[in-house]
Amino acid sequence: MSGAVSAPKKGLIITIDGPSGAGKSTLCRQLAARLGYVALDTGAMYRAVAVAAARRGLDGEDCAVLEKLCAAIRIDFRREADREQVLLDGEDVSAAIRTPEMSLLSSRVSRCSGVRRALVRRQQEIGAAGGVVLEGRDTGTVVFPRAEVKFFLDAGVVERGRRRYRELFAKGIEVDLQQTIAEMEARDRADQEREDSPLSAAADAVRIDSTALAVDEVLDRMLEIIRRHPGFTPAAAKSPGDT
């Protein structure tokens, strides 16, 4: 994958950070579609590392082993029939990365600095050319601290738990609502308290609480802020795999 660091930028770098279930993925995808930008779900990359580790029976706490794993695997994105796919060594793992088990394991592997370094480097390569919306926990603080527009999207934990429950239910994954909320709280705590790049809002991020807002309302607020940026230029819709 080429870095394209010195090429002229094709658009803004926009970041959306926040806890799970706040609506980051949906808004990242919709914003990118509206702007003709690339959407980059950075959490999907940590989830892909978790799937690779689980399949090899690796210890999710052994950072040296996980760092080696990151050097040995390849994570790509591909858009097919308007659906963004996550590929692990060429295999579509888009469904496998979304189970509750992989949610917990991805949070665990994301504590390892070696894993973070490898994935952040890759995210920077994909986004360097601009015209990109990234979402995750550290995209505005660590991956692109100089991103032109940064959002911090939050929502109450019960509402976030309900959203995640509905999402899993729609995919045929049966979970308990109270357990989903409890797991989400535990994962939030782990993501906020880890030493390397904990979840936090960048000082210059625009904070939006989506608890009582519909997706379209959040989208409109975000678009208004982005369009006001002096460097804003729309481009043609792309996939992270196109860079």
Applying CB under 6 A, the residues found at the interface with ligand DC are 20, 42-43, 46-47, 103, 106-107, 110, 136-139, 187, 191
In Å, how far are 29, 89, 130, 203 from 38, measured between CA atoms? Answer: 8, 21, 9, 24
Q: Which amino acid is at 125?
A: E
Give the shortest CB-20-to-ligand DC separation in angstroms.
4
Give the shortest CB-100-to-ligand DC separation in angstroms.
11
Give the shortest CB-71-to-ligand DC separation in angstroms.
19
Cα(225)–Cα(131) distance, integer angstroms: 16
Q: Which is nearer to ligand DC, 162 or 232 (CB)?
A: 162
In the block, tokens 């049966």 appear at 174
How many contiguous H segments (helices) and E segments (strands) does the chain have? 8, 8
Q: Which is nearer to ligand DC, 196 or 232 (CB)?
A: 196
Give the shortest CB-50-to-ligand DC separation in angstroms.
8
Q: Which is nearer to ligand DC, 7 or 158 (CB)?
A: 158
Q: Which is nearer to ligand DC, 148 or 196 (CB)?
A: 196
The CB density around residue 92, as the number of other CB atoms within 10 Å, is: 13
